[in-house]
Structure 1
């Protein structure tokens, strides 16, 4: 029997091998309504292989009932059921995807890339750009006067060191101020090396522009690091929580229920976009220690569905293993 950790590693190794575009999303002119249905048999077979090796307690049993996962709590908003065609959230998710795509294209502080040229992103000023060869992280801090927005954006997996971080799925305690909270070791390691530079600078920008909202965003591994950054910023500078937003694209489960609850209790806009059958949103497989935070925004066949908290049987969790796809990870609306 192949254990969930082994299956997760196999999934992450197979994904970039068979779909090079996963490492670098290509700009698309279409929105989610134009995402074509795929019938690629290779895609289906590889996705099924990854899932069968480690997903869904009926196919491969890990000895743990996946329905006994720790309870994730959040103040009752009265919005427990999926909501279809929420145009405001949908438009925002698609728009912010452009900021999440930026680190794949930027090479310095100049705001020059294919995404950058779109009218809605004109006027963005890059304040900090980093490219750390040691931990594989690339990203930027910017502000947009027209939108009155401060942006912290992390790049997803592209370099070998990125995949090294993605493969390290052991849980480690973090942050120290939240008892019992644990997060994925590889994600934490990459973020921790950046924190001393990022948090103080964002705080200084927030003081300089007191009426700006603060967006933490990223795709894949970048969205994972952005999630840690958002929580960290809320702890070190609680006065900024009311201005904070977290929008991620194609992220796996990052930590345990204490970590998820910590983000949920902030009561900020915390959205996890999932494109169709993106397999990444279902990783690590068959592991009840890992849970999702916030609200899933599921794009599928011209519809957008919102599902609150980590509730099984809603949104992308309704898909069968035959519908999960590695290619959907690299074709998010707005990218």
Structure 2
């Protein structure tokens, strides 16, 4: 009996022979995106915006209460670039969770606009956003140590890596570091409203390492359009484009990088669609 991948290959070949494009096939398939799982992950991201002490105690109101079974939480904030994130274990769901905060102050915005492509040492010809790389560096050792300890303790757990806005960019870089700690097949990567992080070589490297990956873009959110493509920045796969602000079940899954039929088709992006995903505020 043919498996799913073999069926997909045969279907693409059949469509090609019939004169239909592979792009057409992509939108005929059933998307693997699960809106409810995305909301679950977005709540991990929301917590990253809360006060560090509140995160550490997992006592931050509705944002923390959504995942009430979180344990062994470690939260980190470094003042130089105001990097903030946390790591913990969601016991009921058997998930190790890593989440990074988005822009919340002037230091973060400076990091956002420090658009200097610099060498990324892990792959040939790879360049990444200098501000994002330097911001992650402030807390990555702490996060990685937390993941390593939890992964030893909970060997069957998946590792969920997420963040919104700047936090989404940090999560992108962090996922590759975590892939050195655990088997990459255990990583579930999903970010929200992330800017572009690196060049084409970096995108290809990321896509080859992180297999379970989704970028959610809310309708006309402006941040995923930055930094500009003409500056040689590209997005990683796989985009899920929400087709209305606050929508949950109205979306398109886009399997190719920078798909012109998805959010890249928006001609007038807006900041208004950046702070509300799935109908609720992305902050704490």
TM-score over 0.5 for the pair: yes
Among 282, 299, 313, the alignment partner of 2:260 is 313
1:188 pairs with 2:133: yes
Distance 2:103 2:231 in 1: 25
* Gap regions ≥5 residues in structure 1: 1-75
- Mapped contact 2:237–2:255 kept (Cα < 8 A): yes
For 2:196, what is the secondary structure of its paired residue?
Answer: coil
Cα offset, 1:154, TM superposition: 0.6
Q: Displacement of 1:229 after TM fit?
A: 0.5
How far residue 152 of structure 1 moved from its aligned partner, in angstroms, is 0.7
Q: Provide the rounded CA distance (Å) in 2 between the counterparts of 1:112 and 1:144.
A: 14
1:85-100 aligned within 5 A: 86=31, 88-100=33-45
Does the 8 Å CA contact 1:83/1:307 hold for their aligned counterparts?
Answer: no
Gaps of 5+ in 2: 1-7, 13-21
For residue 170 of structure 1, report the CA deviation from its aligned partner: 0.7
CA distance in 1, matches of 2:72, 2:100: 13
> Which structure has the higher relative contact order (CA within 8 Å, separation 6+)?
1
Alignment of 1:1-335 (within 5 A): 80=23, 81-82=26-27, 86=31, 88-108=33-53, 109-113=56-60, 114-118=62-66, 121-174=67-120, 176-234=121-179, 236-237=180-181, 239-287=182-230, 289-301=232-244, 302=247, 303-321=250-268, 324-333=269-278, 335=282
Q: Secondary structure at the match of 1:216?
A: strand
Give the TM-score normalised by structure 2: 0.83
RMSD over equivalenced CA pairs, Å: 2.1
Q: Give the SS at the match of 1:287.
A: helix
What is the TM-score when the length of structure 1 is the normalising length?
Answer: 0.71
Residues 76 and 142, structure 2, Cα contact 8 Å, conserved in 1: no
Distance 1:160 1:204 in 2: 33
Q: Secondary structure at the match of 2:183?
A: helix
2:214 match: secondary structure: strand
SS at match of 2:177: helix
Contact residue 84 and residue 306 of structure 1 kept, 8 A: no
Q: Number of matched residues? A: 253
- 1:199 is displaced (CA, Å) by 1.4
Alpha-carbon shift at residue 248 of structure 1 (Å): 0.5
SS class of match (1:180): coil
**1:89 Cα deviation after fit:** 2.2
Return the alpha-carbon distance in structure 2 between the equivalents of residues 265 and 243 of structure 1: 14
